[in-house]
Structure 1
């Protein structure tokens, strides 16, 4: 098959995966018009429609789905082999793509990985800031970062931080105007800052446990967010009580800008882990990233 046809097949696979000509063009580093022309030429040569285009989305037809299943993984295998060839270089090279949240990026990933980049200048890191549960295989990430208790069993999970607790907090001004809750049930009488879950779309139910007793509380309040930073800001502004992993709040707790309550109702749990597919053949660059991030402190609960 002519080389240009291979390029057209790669164009098709990328558009089908991204669901967008704009995103695919950015991934491939070509113009949208060139990408459209490549897909149109491939469809004309095969004499069959591969993609269904609307004003808002692009999706494979049944023929396109069949072609994706037949060749999509082939390009992944080629990429993996090309990455593996970096073992023969004097220095590891390649791009490592990680999806993660904002706070863990700034507190753990960047501090631990910046020395790696200085030592190995041919390694590139790409971070996707996302609070949802991305499918790292389908979205072609090398790894993701989540709490240890939320990772699928078929993934390899490497601890990158200590065990954590959730923290219930509010500002000193808020607690000056409202009595601090003594039990989780007391939260129903307070203004609480809610979180919309990115996966289910429902509001987060506040979970507590003490001496084997588990309590779930559905809180209410004037604010709902889908990420952590604005919840922290709202709590600092005295707008209500927030519940977040303690690492998001510790600087404010230690400075006195936030007051922590109900700590004895918040058991420790496995902290942040880097996770990746168990079937993945790690490249030298990825292996160095894992080594740099691995947490060497006390064992997780």
Structure 2
């Protein structure tokens, strides 16, 4: 393991272009990371990185060695996967589990479902680290191993297991808001309503799309007095009667069932918002983690 740690750090630094980012990814100190790479360079007798105040880049020797380092780590991961497979599907959830969760669904449901699953797996030694935020975590560079994400999986090396493939957004508001302002009858009517908008990353999700029963899709540019980068706050604003929200149905399922929010535009379908469990590489998807993903999918179906 001591021999693999410098390789892991080298590959992480090459991917991130930064010792500090690689250190965060592997949960080590930045000074320790730099010293480890320096020792590795002395051992190999070559310089692996060109360092400057602005950037970190591989030398020619580093470029040559990178695929061999990746191959060594991949072989180690494949060996671990083979051992886990030989141990059978009954191996419990264990070790450190670092997961990025969307804020609203994460706080309402996901953290509790994960805890209940871990308790049933007798995962007393499980180390659970949850990052609850609507900022999309970079599973390669950030210090997380898995992510639960809305939207279609990117075309990349990520492995995605569907948790709620048919989930969609739903336009909704509180009964108090509807009583004061009435219900929109068509998407075009949103221009006369206060819409609660959401920022994801650097982009404002203010263009809302709907599909009619005949298959016609329209996109409406919305406006309103409130914008948030947290889906949970948008839901709280809607519950307080401050405007219309365009939320994942999973996020507001309980509020709709209890009548705290009412669905609007019943003749129109909201945008697709599929939910996935994501990881970098199939070797991370142990039998226990596949069981966890299956349980989350079952819970989402119930919700």
TM range (shorter): 0.7 to 0.9
State the shift of 1:128 in Å: 3.9
In the superposition, relative to structure 1, how do residues 268 and 203 fare at CA in structure 2: closer, same or farther (>3 Å)? closer
1:1-301 correspondence to structure 2 within 5 Å: 7-28=5-26, 30-44=28-42, 46-48=45-47, 50-54=49-53, 58-60=56-58, 63-86=61-84, 87-88=86-87, 91-92=91-92, 93-118=94-119, 119-121=121-123, 122-131=125-134, 134=137, 136=139, 143-147=146-150, 150-151=152-153, 157-161=160-164, 163-198=166-201, 201-211=203-213, 212-266=215-269, 269=272, 271-276=274-279, 280=283, 282-295=285-298
- Structure 1 residues 167, 236: closer, same or farther in 2, change over 3 A? same
Measured in 2, the distance between the counterparts of 1:228 and 1:16 equals 34
Distance 1:5 1:80 in 2: 17
Cα distance between partner residues in 2 of 1:60 and 1:173:
60
| Compared CA separation, residues 24 and 287, structure 1 to 2 (3 A) | same
Shift of 1:106: 4.3
Change (3 A) 1:259 1:32: same
Distance 1:231 1:24, change over 3 A: same
Structure 1 position 75, deviation (Å): 1.8
Over residues 129-183 of structure 1, what are the superposed CA-to-partner deviations in whole Å (9 max), with x where a residue is unaligned?
3535556467696643334x61357876544348434222233443344232111
Q: Is the 8 A contact 1:145 1:273 kept in 2?
A: yes
Q: TM-score, normalised by structure 2?
A: 0.74
Paired with 1:12 and 1:277, the residues of 2 have a C-alpha distance of: 17
**Quick check: 62-71 or 215-224, which moved more?**
62-71
Verify the 8 A CA contact 1:52 1:61 in the aligned structure 2: no
Change (3 A) 1:181 1:142: same
Instruction: Compare 228-237 and 207-216 and name the one that shifted more.
Output: 228-237
CA distance in 2 between partners of 1:66 and 1:260 (Å): 58
Deviations 1:104-140 (A, max 9, x none): 3345544443344223325554444353555646769
TM-score for both structures, normalised by structure 1: 0.75
Cα distance in 2, alignment partners of residues 268 and 25 from structure 1 = 38
Determine if contact 1:123/1:285 at 8 Å carries over to the other structure.
no
Bigger shift: residues 167-176 or 226-235: 167-176
- For the structure 1 residues 242 and 145, does the alpha-carbon distance in structure 2 shift closer, same or farther, using more than 3 Å as the test? same
Q: Which consecutive residues of structure 1, in runs of 5 or more, have no partner in the other structure? A: none
Report the number of matched residues: 294
What are structure 2's unaligned runs of at least 5 residues?
none
Offset, 1:33: 2.6
SS of corresponding position for 1:150? coil
Distance 1:83 1:280, change over 3 A: closer
SS in 1 for 2:203: coil
